[in-house]
Amino acid sequence: MRIVFMGTPDFSVPCLQALIDDGHDVCAVFTQPDKPKGRHGVLTPPPVKELALKYDIPVYQPKTLKTDEAKELFKSLNAELAIVVAYGKILPGEFIHAPKYGCINMHASLLPKLRGAAPIQWSIITGEKRTGVTSMQMDEGLDTGDMIDKVEVAITPEDTGATLHDKLAEAGAALILETLTKLENHTATRTKQDDAQSCYASMLSKEMGRMDFAKSAEELERLIRGLNPWPCAYTEIDGKNVKIYKAKVIAMDDAYKTQAQGKVEQTLTFAPGEIVEVAKKYFVIACGTDALQIQNLQPEGKKPMDTVAYLNGNPLKAGMTVNWK
């Protein structure tokens, strides 16, 4: 089957590699234009382009798919199928309907849940216990096409946006080969999505990383993991922005009791955002419910570090309050 592959970031690479390794006829790759990166703005090709060039696969990088030129180029490739994996642009109808077997999209969620731009991160943030990858026959809606195959992946309490990204990329690479086999054997079945069960994973922004300590520690810990490595959860400590990469939920009712005179135990109460304990290896911030023990972070203008290194240069005291409002 003559295939055009459309993808751009690291997530797309395992799928393209699987197609190549399995001997499929990838006749062309569409990917986003090279972009400047780093402090010096060095023009850098997308990961998918680098892999395609390694195997001498023709690469096309149109700035937009809406021009007649782009549409004619795609049509001229005479593809039987297009496989779309995190390409980064919405495909016009002329692209979706041009190949004999249409376009198959690999979406990083168990559709119809978490349609949209950032399903990996939102699956952690919203507290899902499992997610997965769905192969879907594309239509002109946003991740609304008929489903062909699914594979489930468990979300562990340690998963971050980065680790879950890698798990799903590998799961998607295996799934696309299964889906292709069914398409070639004419055994693929298509199931319509139940729109009533759908929800959307909106695009990530730096602003959504600001930590609201009125929320529970559990919610904020998921936010920290979901937004790691980008855009990162953050707060302001002693007048400076600090990115938080890792934290642990501390149950306030178990961990923060003190003995008053007469050996009567009293449970302390703290305001959200208040630093309630500073130890040698960590510090603890109160939340709306329970507290967060901060373990790994990145001060403004510095490299990521553990809390020990941070406290060596930034002495904190219990009773201080982070600026979160």
> Could you give the CA distance from residue 23 to residue 90 in angstroms, rounded to a whole number?
28
**Whole-number Cα distances in Å, 71 to 60, 62, 66, 95, 234:** 12, 10, 7, 7, 43
Interatomic CA distance for residues 125 and 226, integer angstroms:
5
Report if residue 324 sits inside a domain. no
Query: Is residue 320 domain-resident?
Result: no
pLDDT in tens, the chain (325 residues): 999 999 999 999 999 999 999 999 999 999 999 999 988 899 999 999 999 999 999 999 999 999 999 999 999 999 999 999 999 999 999 999 999 999 999 999 999 999 999 999 999 999 999 999 999 999 999 999 999 999 999 999 999 999 999 999 999 999 999 999 999 999 999 999 999 999 999 999 999 999 999 999 999 999 999 999 999 999 999 999 999 999 999 988 754 544 323 334 455 678 999 999 899 999 999 999 999 999 999 999 999 999 999 999 999 999 999 999 8
Same domain, 88 and 218: no
Shared domain check, 22 and 119? yes
244 token code pair? 């938080």
Residues 118 and 53 in one domain: yes
**4, β-bridge pairs:** 28, 82
pTM comes to 0.94
Examine the domain organization and report whether 246 and 171 are in the same domain.
Answer: no
The answer to whether residues 74 and 145 belong to one domain is yes
Q: Are strands 146-154 and 130-137 parallel, antiparallel or unpaired?
A: antiparallel
Output DSSP code: residue 249: E
* 154 shares a domain with 7: yes
| 36 domain residue, yes or no | yes
φ/ψ of residue 216, rounded to 5: -75, 155
Number of domains making up the chain: 2
Q: What is d(CA 222, CA 124) in angstroms, rounded to the nearest whole number?
A: 6
In contact, 291 and 252? CB cutoff 8 Å: yes
HSE (side-chain half, CA atoms, 13 Å) at 225:
25
* 322 is a domain residue: no
CATH code of residue 237? 3.10.25.10
Residues 187 and 95 in one domain: yes
Give the residue numbers spanning the domain of 309: 206-313
